[in-house]
Amino acid sequence: MSDTLAKGPSRPRVWFHVDVNSAFLSWSAVLRLREGGPDTQDLRTVPAAVGGDEEKRHGVVLAKSLPAKQHGVRTGESLFAARQKCPGLIVIPPNFDWYVQCSKAMFNIFSDFTPDIEQYSIDEAFLDMTGTEELFGPPEAAAAALRRRVREELGFTVNVGIAPNRLLAKMASDFEKPDRTHTLYPPEIPAKLWPLPVRDLFGVGPSAAKRMNELRIFTIGDLAAADPDLLLRVFGARGDVYWDYANGRETAPMVRDTVKDSSYGNSVTTAQDLHRPEQADATLLALCESVGARLRADGKAARVVTVQLVDAAFRRQSHQTTLPSPTNATETLYRTARELMRAIWPRLGVRLVGVTAEKTGTERFEQLDLFTDARRSEKQEALDRAADELRRRFGDTAVLRAKLLEPETRGPGALGAAKERDKRKNPKREEK
């Protein structure tokens, strides 16, 4: 349910948006300082970045320090490009187990301030602080206390945005960093929000911002003053949301109360560029095997299959289709994904392949047509579950499909694809 600017006749809502400053980099710096000696360098004070394994082609900047940002290093670009901008850049690998520990410790602190916590990602959350003034004083004082506890107890810093709804709280937390508290109350919107570039508004992506610029909408203030009918004609129903957001109204909810439609996805970055779809078939099969196994383990079946490819120029494209009936069968997922992959195969070599199954439900049924062999379908399901059990007991490589062993079709990274980290989707933005 979306928030109005006030709830009830006398008590306005108070929302905090808490966001870790350059989370992965900060958390890695804390661990490095704990494990090192007194002369250990704090990565937050020098040009540094968290990035994947360059030798295995995971060489992308996941997070960077403020000094690195000042050299022009951007999250999401290749480490090669980052080093071109900043030759002395220190690069360390990510440590996701440690990041989870840091996140849990931070959320434990949040729970001392309010029970009403909405996790938005591993490093940010919305806190409903309505009515806590008697416990912690004014919102600004509570935010200062929260920031102090995170800094002193955990060793990293957060920004806190304070506002009467989630949207404005999130926008406020993105103001000056690090370790700051910012408010964004309705009277402050013209001075604090409207001068910002329209691309900074939550929900406005690069293509929408470009289209707005073509309409001579350059700032959030321009968008707030734009003709709603024009926005509706150009952007459809999303145009109404853009206009409301620019005026500080959270008419479209930013978080879900429950995740009713989880999705299951895996992706793998290949050791070398793949130039023909046949080279990616085995990798695709391994990914579908992993996705199918997780669906079966959770008693879920998916109706929508999506394939994602990233080419050598880091251009990302995807294609999806809706199945006639829900499935968790590896063969069906692979057959569908294979067709999708061929439909979008790019000119340049492919460096990442991903598969996602979504629109899931707990009941699995397969609508058989006149040309479907019911016995074959039942046999395939039994084989899938038998293979799942053998892998559970004896390891991921206990049962391998023959295609994964064919050298002429085995793409680089195929055998490791099924071991990629489980990527169940939740609404989340990329690491800042």
DSSP code of 219? B
pLDDT, residue 383, reads: 60
Task: Give me the pLDDT at residue 191, please.
Answer: 97
Whether the per-residue pLDDT at 300 is higher than 50: the answer is yes
Q: Is the pLDDT of residue 138 over 60?
A: yes
Report residue 262's pLDDT band, with 50, 70 and 90 as the boundaries.
low
What mean pLDDT comes out for the span 100-110? 92
Q: Does 118 score more than 80 pLDDT?
A: yes
In the chain, % helix, strand, coil (3-state, to 5) comes to 40, 20, 40
CB–CB of 421/267 below 8 Å? no
Q: Mean pLDDT, to the nearest integer, of 195-212?
A: 91
The amino acid that residue 75 corresponds to is T
**Across 15-19, average pLDDT:** 96
Return the DSSP state at 145: H
13-27, 202-216, 348-362: segment of lowest average pLDDT: 348-362
* pLDDT band at residue 412 under the 50/70/90 scheme: very low
Tell me how far apart the alpha carbons of residues 287 and 190 are, in angstroms, rounded to a whole number: 49
Helix, strand or coil for residue 430? coil
- Percent of residues, the chain, with pLDDT higher than 90: 44
**What local confidence, expressed as pLDDT, does residue 405 receive?**
42
- Selected catalytic residue, list 77, 124, 366, 431: 124
Q: What is the pLDDT of residue 53?
A: 64
**Token digits of residue 265:** 């996805």
β-strands 15-20, 124-128 pairing? antiparallel
Spatial distance between the Cα atoms of 260 and 253, rounded to a whole number of angstroms: 15
CA-CA-CA-CA torsion for 406, 409, 415, 420, nearest 10 degrees?
-160
Give the DSSP letter string of 85-138.
Answer: H-TT-EEE---HHHHHHHHHHHHHHHTTT-S-EEEEETTEEEEE-TT-HHHH-S
Tokens 């040309």 — which residue? 371
Query: What domains can you pick out in the chain, each with its CATH number?
Result: 1-185 (3.30.70.270), 194-246 (1.10.150.20), 264-417 (3.30.1490.100)
Which pLDDT score is estimated for 229?
Answer: 93
What's the confidence (pLDDT) of residue 382?
A: 57
Mean of pLDDT over the chain: 80
What Cα–Cα distance (Å) separates residue 371 from each residue in 325, 376, 404?
A: 15, 11, 29
Q: What is the pLDDT of residue 85?
A: 92
Instruction: Give me the amino acid identity at 280.
Output: A
Is 358 one of the annotated active-site residues of the chain? no
User: CA angle, 359 as apex, 237 and 123 as ends, to 5°?
Assistant: 75
